[in-house]
């Protein structure tokens, strides 16, 4: 999934055949169905060949609201967790942070930037909705934000936290595998 340059620097190929691009194309572009339109043409069983290739997805399935599909999509989109220095960068990568307009000493924060992957943003918001129902700390955070900013802003805020939680779990899994 990577290599070295002539100068000996290590690099990673995130779009190589047989790597994350196969998973992304399979997850985001289900096969077209002919005839009647079905609710979902993908089943969890069609993702089975990819699951052994990405064992770190199991670290995310512990969280309520994240199943096989969600875990594989998050792993495929985030890639190597070591390329982020902190959880805030993961939230920004997913496009879940506010736009900032600055001029001199004036600063205005707008809506979310939507600069990252729309698939990652979508799956994190959907998983956050489910996770809020089970996790007391995230539910308290959701209620606090919802009171002052509204339901949708609170969902995005929880999704941003979930992006950080996912990054921490993936990084921890990677470090455990390196020591084992």
Mean pLDDT lowest for which of 39-53, 72-86, 101-115, 133-147? 39-53
**Pair 30, 94: CB distance under 8 Å:** no
Q: How many structural domains compose the chain?
A: 1
In a domain, 1, yes or no: no
In a domain, 169, yes or no: yes
Q: Is the pLDDT of residue 110 over 50?
A: yes
In a domain, 109, yes or no: yes
In a domain, 121, yes or no: yes
Q: pLDDT value at position 4?
A: 47
Q: Which domain does 60 fall in, by range?
A: 9-27+46-179
**Residue percentage of the chain with pLDDT more than 90:** 49
**Residue in 12, 11, 30 with CA at minimum distance from that of residue 20:** 12
Q: Is the pLDDT of residue 156 over 60?
A: yes
Q: Is the pLDDT of residue 48 over 80?
A: no
d(CA 74, CA 143): 25
d(CA 64, CA 165): 12
How confident is the model over 68-109, as pLDDT tens digits? 899 999 999 998 999 999 999 999 999 998 888 888 888 888
Q: Is the pLDDT of residue 30 over 60?
A: no
Maximal CA-CA distance, the chain: 59
d(CA 2, CA 23): 17
Q: Is the pLDDT of residue 67 over 70?
A: yes
């Amino acid at each position: 999934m990577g290599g070295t340059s002539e100068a000996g620097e290590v690099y990673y190929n995130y779009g190589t055949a047989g790597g994350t691009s196969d998973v992304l194309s399979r997850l985001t572009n289900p096969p077209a169905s002919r005839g009647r339109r079905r609710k979902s043409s993908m089943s969890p069983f069609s993702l089975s060949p990819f699951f052994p290739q990405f064992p770190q997805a199991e670290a995310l399935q512990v969280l309520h609201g994240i199943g096989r599909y969600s875990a594989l999509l998050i792993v495929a989109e985030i890639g190597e967790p070591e390329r982020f220095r902190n959880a805030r960068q993961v939230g920004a990568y997913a496009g879940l942070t506010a736009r900032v307009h600055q001029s001199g000493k004036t600063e205005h924060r707008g809506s979310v930037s939507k600069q990252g992957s729309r698939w990652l943003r979508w799956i994190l918001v959907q998983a956050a909705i489910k996770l809020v129902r089970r996790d007391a700390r995230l539910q308290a955070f959701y209620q606090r934000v919802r009171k002052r900013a509204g339901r949708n802003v609170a969902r995005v805020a929880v999704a941003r936290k979930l992006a950080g939680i996912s990054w921490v779990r993936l990084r921890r899994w990677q470090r455990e595998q390196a020591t084992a």
